[in-house]
Chains A and B, each alone.
Chain A
């Protein structure tokens, strides 16, 4: 990966449990975005957090950003079998129209 590591690489949990995925990046960023990808399909935009934000919520999703450690975490609460997917973080370094640099992704499996 160009960006860094995602931790863990794979995560298996029971339905109803919380899932936490971490992402680290290498350069200063403008925004960090999280995407979900179901097996071999499209990337679904989940949430964007700006570099001057520390935490953001959207439904069952909670994202934190620590720019001093160059890391972010995605928490999915009360997981469902439908949350089974790969999760990627992606960063951009310019304010407008710049490329996204992706992390390696975490494969999440939620067992029912």
Chain B
């Protein structure tokens, strides 16, 4: 079965650079979520989109922005990168028409800021 696709899988950036992470949800899933997982931490919710509109916002820095496109893929844009942004970034998707809020996660993008 098709899963959530994230690209790139690994990314190395310098401080103050920008990064763009991409997420392709499972086909027919209309909701995308972004989570950040620091080393040894549990995943923390950043932001979510439903039908291309932002549906919820968590602890996402102002330096980050995201959007969902007409084909339902989503991009997380990160600017003025800081060392503390080094983390695993997960995208998850779900189908709002499904009975329950089962969220399926992608493999993650490991961002390293030097």
* Chain B positions 67-102 with a Cβ under 8 Å from a chain A Cβ: 88, 90, 92, 94, 96, 100-102
Contacts A30-B101, A31-B100, A48-B102 given: A98-B56 contact, CB under 8 Å? yes
Contact A97 B90 (CB under 8 A): no
Given contacts A31-B100, A100-B103, A102-B43, contact A42 B56 (CB under 8 A): no
A97 lies within 8 A of B105 (CB): no
| B64 within 8 Å of A (CB atoms) | no
Q: Is the interface of B mostly helix, strand, loop or mixed?
A: strand
B105-A99 in contact (CB<8A) = no
The reply to whether the CB of B27 lies closer than 8 angstroms to some CB of chain A is: no
- Chain A at the B interface: mostly helix, strand, loop or mixed? loop
Instruction: Tell me the count of chain B residues lying within 8 A, CB to CB, of chain A.
Output: 27
Which residues of A sit under 8 angstroms from B31, Cβ to Cβ?
Answer: 97
Interface residues on A, range: 20 to 34
Of A88, A95, A98, which one neighbours B43 at CB under 8 angstroms?
A: A88
Within 8 Å by CB of A42, from B42, B100, B107, lies B107
Q: A70 at the A/B interface (Cβ < 8 Å)? A: no
* CB-nearest residue of chain A to B42: A102
B110 x A40 contact (CB < 8 A)? yes
Is B58 close to A, CB under 8 A?
Answer: yes
**What CA separation (Å) do A96 and B105 show in the bound complex?**
16
- Contact residues of B between 27 and 66, Cβ < 8 Å to A: 31, 33, 35, 42-45, 48, 50, 55-56, 58
Is A41 interfacial (CB 8 A cutoff)?
A: yes
Q: How far is the CA of A2 from the CA of B46 in the complex (A)?
A: 13
A50 within 8 A of B: yes
A43 is an interface residue with CB less than 8 A from chain B: yes
Q: Judge whether B106 is part of the interface by a CB distance below 8 angstroms.
A: yes
With contacts A48-B102, A95-B101, A97-B101 taken as known, whether A40 is within 8 angstroms of B48 at the C-beta atoms is: no
Q: In chain A, what residue has the closest Cβ to B90?
A: A43
Interface positions of A (Cβ within 8 A of B): 1-3, 30-31, 33, 35, 40-45, 48, 50, 88, 90, 92, 94-105
